[in-house]
Amino acid sequence: MMTREQYVEQMKKQLDEWNAKLGKWEEEVKKAQAGVKTQYEAQIKALEKQRDETVKRLNETRDASQAAWMEVSKGAESAWKTMQSSFENAWSEFQKKK
């Protein structure tokens, strides 16, 4: 079982990775054709919205008291898994179409 600090640290690392990929993705999308561009931009917006939600959960986890953190971490974990699978699906779709 991870401590809250380890958990927050791990989530931060993953967020940095996603942010880097999103940045790369946005660069590539700029070069894409108009039809494809709109589709990707919508996907990127959706992922950014999800990422912001995940960051909010991360902050709640970080700010929660020790007793409450177990409860909060469950919600964060679920937001996390959703973000991860959305990101991976979108990323692999993007890589296929490149």
CB of 29 closer than 8 Å to CB of 21:
no
Q: How far is CA 51 from the centre of its chain?
A: 4
Q: Reply yes or no on whether the pLDDT at 23 is more than 70.
A: yes
CA-derived radius of gyration, the chain:
15
CB of 29 closer than 8 Å to CB of 37:
yes
**Rounded-to-integer distance, Cα 68 and Cα 86, Å:** 28
Torsion-angle region of residue 2: left (phi > 0), alpha (psi -120 to 50) or beta? beta
pLDDT at 98: 61
The pLDDT tens digits of the residues spanning 41-70 come to 888 888 888 888 878 877 877 777 777 777
Q: What percent of the chain has pLDDT over 70?
A: 94
Domain boundaries defined on the chain = 22-97
